[in-house]
Amino acid sequence: MNDASSRPTLVTTVDQLRRAVAAARADGRSIGLAPTMGALHEGHLSLVRASKAECGVTVVSIFVNPSQFGPGEDLAAYPRDLDADLDKLAECGADLVFAPDNEEMYGEGHATWVDVGSVARPLEGECRPTHFRGVATVVLKLLNMVGPDRAYFGEKDYQQARVIRRMVADLDVPTVIRVCPIVREADGLAMSSRNAYLDVDARRQAAILWKSLCLADELVSQGERDPRTIVRRMREMIESAEDARLDYVALVDPDTLEPIERIEGPVLAALAVRIGATRLIDNRLLKM
C-alpha cells in the first residue's frame, strides 16, 4: 500500500492491470477505483482520498475517452499531463494508475455500447446526444477490468453519477458506487480540468455559474415554489456576464432528472454555460 509521496505503479495494458489487481486481492485487500480523464485537480484527488479511507488499494484510471466526445467538441484540445498527474497521485497515496491508449481500450472491431435509458436523456443528454453512451460504456469496461469493491465519482457530474448508478443496478455490477461532494475554488467555481481553458477575464466571469446556483437556493429558502420564476432569475443573472451563453438551466427531480412543476421537496438545479468557447457545468441540490 502506498502511504504517500512514492509514485503509484503505472500500468498501460489490461493484462498488467488485472495482474496487479489480482496480487492485491491475493493479499486480502479491498479495491477502490476512481475513473478520471486526467489533468487532475483537487476534485479528482478528493475521490482518491475517499477511496484511500475505505479501500486497501486505490486504482486511478486516466483515459481521455474519445467515445464520450461529440463531433466538434474538445477531444484534441483536452488537457493531458500524465507526469504531473502521477506527482499529484503520489502525494495522496494512490497505489495503481491505469493509463491505456485508445487501442488498448477499444480493440479492433469494438461494437458494443451501453444505452442507459431515460436518466441519460435530458440535460447533458439533450445537448450531447452520444455522451452518456460513451461514458457508460467506458465505465462498465473499467469496472469489468478492475472488479473494484467500490468506485468513486463526483457530484460535479451529477447526471453521470445517476447514469452509472442506474447501469450498475440494471446490469448487476457487484461494485458499490460512491458519489463525493463537489470541490470548489474560493469563488465557488467547481473545479474542472476545463477551467484551464479560461483566460483571466473568462475565469472571472465563470463565477456566475455558482452565483446563479446560490441565487436559486436563496429564492427557495425565501419561499419561492415556482421553478419557472427561479429559472428566469438564474437565466437573467447568467446572461448579465458578457461572454456567457446558456446551454440550459433547469430545476429537476434529483432522482429522475425530469422537470418539476412545483417545488415540494428537494430539487436539483443544473446548468451548462459557455464562457466564450469553454463549456462548463455545475449543479446544486436545493432544499426547502
| Among 31, 47, 89, 143, interactor with ligand AMP by CB under 6 A | 47
Beta carbon nearer to ligand AMP, 31 or 47: 47
Question: What minimum distance in Å lies between the beta carbon of 67 and ligand AMP?
Answer: 13
Match 480493440 to its residue by C-alpha cell.
Answer: 107
Cβ pair 232, 218 in contact under 8 A: no
Give 185 or 224: the residue with its C-beta nearer to ligand AMP: 185
Min separation Cβ 82 and ligand AMP, Å? 13
Q: Hey, which residues between 160 and 199 contact ligand AMP (CB under 6 A)? A: 180, 182-183, 190-193
Task: Give the torsion sign (CA, 221, 227, 228, 233).
Answer: positive
- For residue 208 the three cell numbers come to 456566475
Letter for the amino acid at 73? Answer: E
Residue whose C-alpha cell reads 430545476 in the numeric block: 251
Nine cell digits for residue 265: 421537496
DSSP 49-84: HHHHHH-SEEEEEE---GGGSPTTSSTTTS---HHH
**Strand runs (DSSP E) across 96-138, as ranges?**
96-98
* The one catalytic residue among 41, 44, 110, 131: 44
Stretch that binds ligand AMP, among 43-51, 89-97, 143-151, 218-226 (CB under 6 A): 43-51
- Among residues 10, 37, 207, 214, which is the contact residue for ligand AMP, using CB under 6 A? 37
The backbone torsions φ and ψ at residue 270, rounded to the nearest 5 degrees and listed phi first, read: -130, 145
Size of the site for ligand AMP (CB under 6 A): 17
Q: Is 131 among the residues known to form the active site? A: no
| 97 grid coordinates | 494508475
Q: What are phi and psi of 86, to 5 degrees?
A: -65, -35
Q: Which segments of 115-195 does DSSP mark as H helices, in order?
A: 124-127, 131-146, 158-170
Task: Work out which of 43, 93, 100, 122 binds ligand AMP, going by CB under 6 A.
Answer: 43
Residue linked to cell 473494484 = 148
63 belongs to the binding site for ligand AMP (CB under 6 A): no
Q: Per-residue x/- mask for ligand AMP, residues 114 to 153, rule CB under 6 A? A: ---------------------------------------x
Single out the residue of 50, 157, 209, 272 in contact with ligand AMP (rule: CB under 6 A).
157
Q: d(Cα 87, Cα 180) in Å, to the nearest integer?
A: 22
Q: In the bound complex, what is the minimum distance in angstroms from residue 26's beta carbon to ligand AMP?
A: 29
Rounded to whole angstroms, the Cα distance separating 100 from 141 reads 12
Choosing from 20, 31, 44, 138, the residue that interacts with ligand AMP (CB under 6 A) is: 44
The single residue among 154, 167, 215, 234 that binds ligand AMP, judged by CB under 6 A, is 154
Provide the binding-site residues for ligand AMP, judged by CB under 6 A: 36-37, 43-44, 46-47, 153-154, 156-157, 180, 182-183, 190-193
Residues assigned a catalytic role: 44
